[in-house]
Amino acid sequence: MSPETPTLKNFIAGQWTAPADGKYFDNANPADTRDIVGRFPHSSAADVDAAVASAKRGFEIWRRTPAPARGDVMRRAGEILIARKEELADMMTREMGKPLAETRGDVQEGIDTAFYAATEGRRMFGHTVPSELRNKWAMSFRRPIGVAGIITPFNFPLAIPTWKMFPALVCGNSCVFKPAEDVPMTGHLFVEILLEAGLPPEVINLVHGKGEAGAAIVAHPDVALVSFTGSTDTGSKVGEICGRTHKRLSLEMGGKNAMIVLDDADLELALEGILWGAFGTTGQRCTATSRLIVQEGVHDEFVSTLEKRAQKLVLGDGRSKGTDVGPVINTRALEKIERYIGIGTGEGATLRMGGARAKGTGLENGYFFQPTIFTGVKALSRLEQEEIFGPVLSVVKVKDADEAFRVNNDVRYGLSSSVYTRDVNISFRALNELDNGITYINAPTIGAEAHLPFGGVKQTGNGHREGGWEVYEFYSETKVGYVDFSGKLQRAQIDNY
């Protein structure tokens, strides 16, 4: 570690604060692990306690701030994100690995989310409905809930924290935020930006750390709601705790997203789509295309062209010009991918390309894995069913659209799906039939926009959505008001009948 390596702090009670027990961890660049981005607090339950106590105080100020004024803070945050887009993207690529074009997109998603949130501060619609009694009004409106525990993953270091915190804050909640330990610097910069935008200090609290800190947030009795994006296994544990303590919980978890290519598809278009869907972000998106379901008439031709094109993808540091595919996030990710290469081969799938750590100049010190394609993958095999979160694509051959739909649906996840066809009837049938929260027609499984609800069915989530208008339901509580101005007792259901 060089002498310039910065030591970062938590942000608690309006102060940048060292962790109570003085423990830190190093955050390394996954493209070159000799480059240490910073040392970050390895926080414990004591730090979380202090952060939650502060957020409780922050909530009392913030919940009384008018929603349009809260929205103004998000607008200013969006403006700062615009001004610092390049600098943020560079840091995000340095600590997370994906190419600059992608981290710029990640910041842009935060900007879009900020401006959407700013305007929502002037909507937050309730309903006014007629009362069944005379001289009485009935209405519903939205109230903030309390301290929100925000636990975010590494793959979208900025976009996902903004998806969660901008709506949480506009609705009037305060936040205790724990960014993934692989991308703490982006979390740090984001909190700085919120403060610069004018967020009152105790409304946001930042606690760095690993599972221990996350678990303490989830279990804390004064945390009223939790939003978590990460693995299905961790999500289940979070769900158990929140179930026992009756907390509101939004979960975004795994995916095993499929692209379906039918015989009548525009194959060139589908090719561009699959390269981006499967190998963009090195396959580390919840929305990544990890299964390619191809109809038999075009299967062989499509797969061989795909292989040729995938061989040309350039691996490297996401900050170098010309890099298509960056590293994966850490050693654990590499080891998991390797395990699945073994599982796939063991199940009799054909390893068409890749299948190993990538070697070569400039790759020696990073977590690089070759883009990998398996063909002859059987529906319901483990390779076809389980989330890998890396640059591994499994190709399944099918007879027709019905079989393709069946294969798509026969998994425990249901985030996104995609169909390439020129047949308008099949396109609309797909929208109806595919068990996913998002279906793309003639576009890959990635590409969600900030102003539409994002999320999946089955084991991908627990029914909530992020983004768009629906997330505001999650972060607020409906309250109903009845105002009787008749001057006498009117008994509902009795005096009017």
Q: Footprint of ligand UN1 on this chain (CB under 6 A)? A: 109, 155-156, 285-287, 446-448
The DSSP element (H or E) to which 344 belongs, if any, is helix 331-346
Q: Which residue is catalytic, options 171, 175, 242, 286?
A: 286
Q: Residue 324 CB, nearest distance to ligand UN1 (Å)?
A: 16
Q: Which is nearer to ligand UN1, 55 or 448 (CB)?
A: 448
Q: Residue 439 CB, nearest distance to ligand UN1 (Å)?
A: 13
Tokens 């694509």 sit at which residue? 393
Q: Which is nearer to ligand UN1, 96 or 147 (CB)?
A: 96
Tokens at residue 133, please? 């009694």
Q: Which is nearer to ligand UN1, 359 or 412 (CB)?
A: 412
**Cα 311 from Cα 305, distance rounded (Å):** 10
**Cα 321 from Cα 80, distance rounded (Å):** 26
Dihedral pair phi/psi, residue 151, rounded to 5°: -125, 120
Annotated catalytic residue 286: yes
CA atoms within 13 A on the CB side of 218: 25
Mention every residue, 6+ apart, whose C-beta is less than 8 A from residue 472: 120, 124, 142, 167, 170, 171
Q: Which is nearer to ligand UN1, 24 or 154 (CB)?
A: 154
DSSP state of 76: H
In total, the chain counts a number of residues equal to 497
Q: Residue 167 CB, nearest distance to ligand UN1 (Å)?
A: 15
Q: Kindly list the strands in the beta sheet with 477-484, ordered across the sheet, starting from the edge strand earlier in the chain.
A: 127-130, 136-143, 477-484
Tokens at residue 97, please? 């690995």
Q: Which is nearer to ligand UN1, 131 or 152 (CB)?
A: 152
Annotated catalytic residue 175: no
Q: Residue 15 CB, nearest distance to ligand UN1 (Å)?
A: 32
**Cα 189 from Cα 361, distance rounded (Å):** 32
Q: Residue 4 CB, nearest distance to ligand UN1 (Å)?
A: 32
Q: Which residue is catalytic, options 252, 386, 387, 466?
A: 252
Q: Which residues are catalytic, by number?
A: 252, 286
